[in-house]
């Protein structure tokens, strides 16, 4: 079913909207949650919360890119659950992803850094737009969706070691772009 028809079902408050959403995007959303949380039950909880959020948000929202909107919702819910449970030291997947990015993204702990968030976002957006489509897709799939390196290597048809080197070069490129813009690390 087309996204516009699924969204119309939400607007009509037809419960079939959730069924259609699960059928079309359930695997996509589940993969994001699993990549970040690595615990099946928690991923399923986030998936259910995603459907609940969609039901409560549409209407009044009418997402133009439904797949991306759902991906953002499930990612945010997964990160919230990860943060809640991280205090209990239950997850290693998200920690590994954040550790990889640690050298090129400044911490947002201070007031000054919070105020610079928009500037940082704009610099990262410009950097991403300057990448080739393949590099941009790799970076987003790894650091936004949390796709494991081995899975990405398999999808791109290259060895995990070669992909790890490529990801290292991308992170280095991001770091240099941030430094060039005067963003301290």
Instruction: Render 37-52 in DSSP notation, one character per residue.
Output: H--HHHHHHHHHHHHH
Closest CA to 28 of 6, 1, 52, 46: 46
Task: Collapse the DSSP code of 112 into the 3-class scheme (helix H, G, I; strand E, B; otherwise coil) and give the result.
Answer: helix
Q: How confident is the model at residue 106 (pLDDT cuts 50, 70, 90)?
A: low
Q: How many CB atoms lie within 10 A of CB 1?
A: 14
| pLDDT grade for 84, boundaries at 50, 70 and 90 | confident
Distance, in Å, from the CA atom of 71 to the CA atom of 172, rounded to the nearest integer, reads 26
Residue 161 to residue 47: CA distance in whole angstroms: 32
The structure tokens 């209990």 sit at 88
Whether pLDDT at 39 is above 80? yes
Average pLDDT over residues 125-133: 92
- What is the percent of the chain where pLDDT is above 90? 59
Predicted confidence (pLDDT) per residue in 57-69, tens digit:
998 999 999 999 9
What residues contact 137, with CB distance under 8 A and at least 6 apart? none
In 3D, which of 85, 54, 96 has the Cα closest to residue 71? 54
pLDDT band at 182, cuts 50/70/90?
confident
Residue 103 confidence (pLDDT) above 90: no
pLDDT at 107 over 70: no
Residue 114's pLDDT is 54
pLDDT bracket for residue 93 (50, 70, 90): low
| Band of residue 4 on the pLDDT scale cut at 50, 70, 90 | very high
What is the pLDDT confidence band of residue 38, given thresholds at 50, 70 and 90?
Answer: confident
Contact 63, 10 (CB under 8 A): no
**pLDDT level of residue 23 (50, 70, 90 thresholds):** very high
């Amino acid at each position: 079913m087309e996204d516009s028809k699924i969204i119309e079902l939400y607007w009509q408050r037809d419960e079939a909207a959730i069924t259609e959403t699960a059928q079309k995007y359930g695997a996509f959303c589940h993969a994001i949650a699993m990549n970040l949380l690595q615990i099946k039950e928690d991923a399923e909880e986030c998936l259910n919360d995603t459907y609940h959020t969609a039901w409560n948000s549409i209407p009044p929202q009418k997402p133009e890119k439904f797949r991306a909107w759902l991906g953002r919702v499930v990612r945010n819910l997964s990160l919230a659950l990860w943060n809640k449970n991280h205090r209990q030291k239950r997850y290693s997947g998200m920690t590994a992803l954040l550790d990889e990015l640690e050298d090129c993204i400044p911490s947002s702990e201070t007031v000054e850094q919070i105020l610079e968030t928009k500037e940082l976002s704009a610099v990262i957006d410009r950097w991403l737009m300057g990448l080739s489509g393949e590099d941009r897709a790799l970076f987003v799939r790894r650091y936004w969706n949390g796709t494991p390196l081995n899975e990405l290597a398999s999808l791109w048809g290259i060895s995990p070691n070669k992909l790890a080197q490529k990801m290292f070069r991308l992170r280095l490129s991001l770091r240099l772009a941030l430094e060039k813009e005067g963003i301290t690390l």
